[in-house]
Chain A
Amino acid sequence: MSTTRAASEVTAEGTPLTAHTERAANKIFFGLSAASASLILVVLAAVATFLLLEAWPALTDSSGDYLDKVAWISPEKGQSLIEIAGYLIFGTVLISTVALLIATPLSIGIALFISHYAPRRLATGLAYMVDLLAAIPSVVYGLWGGMVLVPFLQPFYQWLADWFGWFPLFAPAEDGTVSATGRVALSASIVLAIMVIPIITAVTREVFLQTPKLHEEAALAMGATRWEMVRMAVFPFGRSGIVGATMLGLGRALGETMAVYMILSVGLSYSWSLLNASSHNTIASYIAAQFPEANTQGVSALIALGLALFVITLLVNMLARWIVSRRSEFSGAN
């Protein structure tokens, strides 16, 4: 042991310290993952470039009558693209946010029930059913929402407006009534909520299940009830997972087209009331409705709206990342 030897001669259980095979495998794996990572960047850049190029005419044409040439604008003649985009962004964000306000607490509750409260067999069955909900196509949600859920909810909307009409989101029309069809923003939000619950539940459930036993036992051992243990160990550990799951859900809600298109009676305004029909629309559903009849300029304008949706989604994701990274010093990761 006292003499020095070349590293390649030193053996540990017969393998030289310079193991060439492992290095090669390492390099291949690194190459593969780097390639996949750059592929994602390329796709992202390609989508962004496409949107920008196609939207360019609509974004840069400052001649006031540009939109008059856009065939599909007819009902909103006289409004500029920016105005329309404003209404649509407002509608999109409003409807999606309300959907998440409904879906997130429910999802966390379901996930927690599955991960920490339900007996094993019930939990497995429930988890499976929630996953099945995610497999239902959005057209089916749209059909079901429009034909079953909306008529069912309509009387409840009137009740909501009668009692909570003072709250801007539930304000009725001037004559005190709400839409008789129920095809209002709140209906769209509720159906969107049902659609995103499976995603949020699945992700948060996984995160909750990964709570270190160590921390759960730490809480229980000092006399925490199960709910206190959840607040002390499970939620703090899963916080960034919950935010991430919510943002995933928001991403789906923002971009959801069919369900909104089939349920919502559309309109353009900055109304906060979720109970009045013909007041809101979302970017995705607007594009879907207008695209078939759009002329060249129309398509360009629609793509500009698509670009706006893209930017909103990007901002939402950046916000999520920022929230997750805040106080990372205290995160469960170390």
Chain B
Amino acid sequence: MTKRIDVNNLNVYYSNFLAVEDVSLAIEPKSVTAFIGPSGCGKSTFLRTLNRMHEVIPGARVEGEVLMDGVNLYEAGVDPVAVRRHVGMVFQRPNPFPTMSIAENVLAGVKLNNKRISRADADDLVESSLRGANLWEEVKDRLDKPGSSLSGGQQQRLCIARAIAIKPDILLMDEPCSALDPISTLAIEDLMQELKDEYTIVIVTHNMQQAARVSDRTAFFNIAGTGKPGKLIEMNDTATMFSTPSEKATEDYISGRFG
């Protein structure tokens, strides 16, 4: 199920503003890839081009290609809706649907595109997804309560359950822990380790310890100054990146000398 991503010479624009310039990188299947870099360097922007979520923003567009197992996501005829069913996304702030119960939240994506699902299958899927997100034990007695009644960390895991319920190949996470307390953060980091057996995971984080803890490979993005485009500086195995980075800028950022 899990897939690899190859990005070739990708530029991302917001109208005329070039936000990310000439990024080429490869993301391996069944691994965790972390994007780090100072705020505003285009990590979120770039991440969103991997499931065409940037298209939600008026004026945002890309040049270049993003290949998922060799298929260009930007080829004419590729439906962004279909892309997003293969490439799920978890956001910075937990965003369960407040009008839906916990169980309904998990099933929200499954019931899209006119798919029907039997009651028993639905119950099974709710359980397996919530188990997959390490949330089942905490919520199994109140599946019909609103998703917004959970704590922030639980809500974020509910969002992960909702994302994996549609069985994507790739899971994108944009600073999934930055709104959470340290204990919830640990719970989600543990979860990522389990999820990478089945999914390709890409995580944006501004927390370098987190990148070092959870990821197999790390990509460092940087920006020359405000108004300048963000660029990929280097990408390597996480251990190498944090011990012997090849670029001076990476070393400075990692050792906390700026950013």
The answer on a CB contact under 8 Å between A222 and B97 is no
Stretch at the interface among A162-170, A176-184, A225-233: A225-233
The answer on a CB contact under 8 Å between B98 and A232 is no
Q: Is A132 interfacial (CB 8 A cutoff)?
A: no
The answer on a CB contact under 8 Å between A218 and B97 is yes
Q: Is A27 interfacial (CB 8 A cutoff)?
A: no
Within 8 Å by CB of B99, from A217, A223, A331, lies A331
Within 8 Å by CB of A221, from B84, B98, B149, lies B84
Q: Is B108 interfacial (CB 8 A cutoff)?
A: yes
The answer on a CB contact under 8 Å between A223 and B113 is yes
Q: Is A120 interfacial (CB 8 A cutoff)?
A: yes
Within 8 Å by CB of A334, from B51, B101, B148, lies B148
Residues of A with C-beta under 8 A to B95: 212, 214-215, 217-218
Q: Is A330 interfacial (CB 8 A cutoff)?
A: yes
Given A329-B146, A334-B148, A225–B113 Cβ distance below 8 Å? yes
Residues of A with C-beta under 8 A to B159: 218
Chain A min CB distance to B58 (Å): 7
Q: Is A149 interfacial (CB 8 A cutoff)?
A: no
Chain A min CB distance to B132 (Å): 15
In whole angstroms, how far apart are the Cα atoms of A96 and B112 in the complex? 37
- Give how many A-B residue pairs fall within 8 Å (CB-CB): 82
Chain B min CB distance to A208 (Å): 15
Chain A min CB distance to B54 (Å): 11
Residues of A with C-beta under 8 A to B81: 223-225
Q: Is A72 interfacial (CB 8 A cutoff)?
A: no
Q: Is A220 interfacial (CB 8 A cutoff)?
A: yes
Q: List 22 A-B contacts (CB under 8 A).
A: A120-B58, A218-B96, A218-B97, A219-B97, A219-B108, A220-B56, A221-B91, A222-B88, A222-B162, A223-B81, A223-B113, A224-B109, A233-B97, A236-B97, A236-B99, A237-B98, A330-B98, A330-B101, A331-B99, A332-B98, A332-B99, A333-B98
Residues of A bordering B, CB below 8 Å: 120, 212, 214-225, 228, 232-233, 236-237, 239, 329-334
